[in-house]
Structure 1
Amino acid sequence: MTAPPTTTQGGRDEFALRLLKGSAKKSYEPIVDIDWDAPLAEDRYFLPPQMVSLYGTPMWEQMDDGQRVDLSRQEFANYISMGIWFENMLNQSLLRAMMHSSPTSPGTFYELTELGDEARHMLMFGKAIERVGVEPFWPGKRGARRVNTMAMIFRGPMLWVGALVGEEIFDALQRQILDGGDDLQPLVQRVMRIHVTEEARHIQFARDGIRRDVGELSPQTRWAVANLHGLGASLYFKHFTRSALYDRIGLDGREAQRQARANPQFHASLRAGFAPLAAFLDEVGLMGPIARRMWTKYKFL
């Protein structure tokens, strides 16, 4: 596939300036823009039922309404716990990259704006987990070291592809959540709406960075970038179906995990979440054969 034309630095700066103006017009301060003291709505889901990993399985049919709602609560907390990990990693990577950029360029100004957005998102997600009344799904010492190591690896074009793997999949899943309608907790709807609004600019910036750089990559770098993102498929699939989700609500964690991982309804949700990013990676010629096999193996394609 022929790569699209790359943007000039001037084009990159103009694009960054447009995003800066958008940020000035439409940004949020979650600590005051969300009513954290509002009561949770009784019996409302935290994810649309069809997005819950066990939806449609034999185990789901045996669960009562309370267990179903509680599983949606745990899975919501799991999603946004992973969001905190990723945004921590992205902020570390952006800060390292800034030491090799001009501190007066519009691109750097926008990256600093994105850092602020992501810091507020981490606060918002942490407050939301606290408010729904569950423990976060947090990495142990080994997992934390892995997150910090990945932050050092994400450089150059791999930073922008890694950013999209983290941001676009969550963005598409959050749009599915917002489509869940009035059966959802108002708190969840508000958190998702804020994140989708601000994340749209981050996704545009990362996509522009890839379009700018892809035509200049060496064959070796292009091959690495086009295939290494496939590692995200395993990470997402395993963490979205961690046995602790099911243990916490009194289910047999291993059996629940087995049913979730084999669940066609869950696979359909994953494919819908990956579809926009898959189309973009195909468009810019960065869906390598190894990555494609990995995303397919873990049901995202």
Structure 2
Amino acid sequence: MTSQAVAQRLLDSSQALSYDPTTEVDWDTPLDEAHHGMSPEWCSLYGTAYWAEMTPEQQRELTRQESASVASTGIWFEMILQQMVLRDFYAKDPTDPAFQWALTEIADECRHSIMFARGAAKLGAPAYRPSRLVVELGRIFKTVATGESAYASILVAEEVLDVMQRDWMRDERVAPFVRTINNIHVVEESRHMKFAREETKERLRGASWLRRQVDALVVSIVSYFIVTSMVNPKVYANAGLDTKRALREAKANQQYKSMMRSSCAGLMEFLNSAGLLTKPATWFYQRANLI
């Protein structure tokens, strides 16, 4: 299928099934603190000795803070994504379905970012941001990244979030408005992932061995910084925990690492089929617990 045909199909799908978070999400009902912010199994401390010592109230508060942190990281990367896509389609043929799909995706991401921001605020969380180093590296990446390295990096960020949120949106322990947010994101992001996969394959067609080696390394480094920025260290203090102990136990938490690896099995299979899972790249994925 040509990229034009894929883009047209995605445009048709978007017209048939899209959401308006301002009306679909229940923003008015006060937060019920009897609910989690994510499936507890996805919490960075789940399965640790510290988790077992926490009260149910503390456990729920930590999942709400971590959910907000993941959402904030999502906003940060969605802003990078929008700029890369805009730059890629600058001055291209506006009658091309791919051009129109690119603008549709950007419009979706704008709505998603506002939705995540409002959701994080409703969860009672502050504005979590990646470290200053990661923010500045992101500033460089969004300025220089092109072609397959940009689209494969977009795919990584979207795929990791997708698997998490598919669990959260079905989990009745999770706050209803968070489940709605996750459902909207999963439905609309599935189209974005399809486009990112097609663009990655298209841009790599005929690429040299050296180019694939460089792309593979860039994408793996970007992936490392995205994944390791999802849980901000400040979530522990904001949940009333000992940050030093929480960080120590989270770092050694095999349960969380296993969840991350299982969520990326399909992604790693795709990267391997595209020639982007090289030995140096694998080192970064292992460091990020993605493989």
Q: State TM-score, norm by structure 1.
A: 0.92
Q: In structure 1, what is the equivalent of residue 149 of structure 2?
A: 158
Moved more, 189-198 or 58-67: 58-67
* 1:8-61 superposed Cα distances (whole Å, 9 cap, x missing partner): xxx111111010000000011111221200232341111111111101111111
In the alignment, the residues of structure 2 paired with residue 25 and residue 149 of structure 1 have an alpha-carbon distance, to the nearest angstrom, of 37
Unaligned runs of 5+ in 1: 1-6
For residues 121-143 of structure 1, give each alpha carbon's deviation from its aligned partner in whole angstroms, at most 9, with x where no partner exists. 00100111111121120246655
Matched, 1:77 2:71: no
1:230 partner SS: helix
Alignment match of 1:258 (pick from 239, 243, 248): 248
Same amino acid, percent of matched pairs: 32
Aligned pair partner of 2:159 in 161, 168, 179: 168
Find the counterpart in structure 2 of residue 249 from structure 1.
239
Task: Read off the aligned partner of 2:11 and give its amino acid letter.
Answer: L
The verdict on how the C-alpha distance between 1:298 and 1:146 changes in structure 2, with shifts beyond 3 A counting, is closer
Deviations 1:193-232 (A, max 9, x none): 0000000000000111122222221222111112222113
- Give the drift of 1:114: 0.3
Cα distance in 1 between the residues matched to 2:267 and 2:97: 26
Deviates more, 1:288-297 or 1:194-203: 288-297
Question: Alignment partner for residue 216 of structure 1, among 203, 206, 214?
Answer: 206
1:194 maps to 184
Q: Which residue of 2 aligns with 1:102?
A: 93
Which amino acid letter does the alignment assign opposite residue 165 of structure 1? Answer: V
- Counterpart CA distance in 1 for 2:267 and 2:119 is 27
1:269 aligned onto 2:269: no
CA deviations on 1:209-268 (whole Å, 9 max, x unpaired) are 122222221222111112222113432453244321111122221221111111011111
- Aligned CA distance change for structure 1 residues 210 and 170 (closer, same or farther; 3 Å): same
Alignment match, 1:4? none
1:16 match: 7
For the Cα contact (< 8 Å) 1:41–1:186, is it kept in 2?
A: no
Query: Is 2:45 the counterpart of 1:54?
Result: yes
How many residue pairs align between the two structures?
291
Is structure 2 residue 287 aligned with structure 1 residue 297?
Answer: yes
Stretch moving more, 252-261 or 67-76: 252-261
Q: Name the Cα RMSD after superposition.
A: 1.6
Distance in 1 separating the partners of 2:46 and 2:65: 14
Q: Which residue is equivalent to 1:34?
A: 25
Query: CA shift at 1:273, angstroms?
Result: 2.2
Q: Which moved more, 1:157-166 or 1:218-227?
A: 218-227
| Structure 2 residue ranges without an equivalent (≥5) | none
Q: Distance in 1 between matches of 2:189 and 2:41?
A: 24
- Trace 1:204-243 onto structure 2 (pairs within 5 A): 204-243=194-233
2:78 matched to which residue of 1?
A: 87
Q: CA deviation at 1:187?
A: 0.8
SS of equivalent residue, structure 2 residue 205: helix
What is the Cα deviation at residue 100 of structure 1?
5.0
Out of 21, 36, 58, the residue aligned to residue 67 of structure 1 is 58
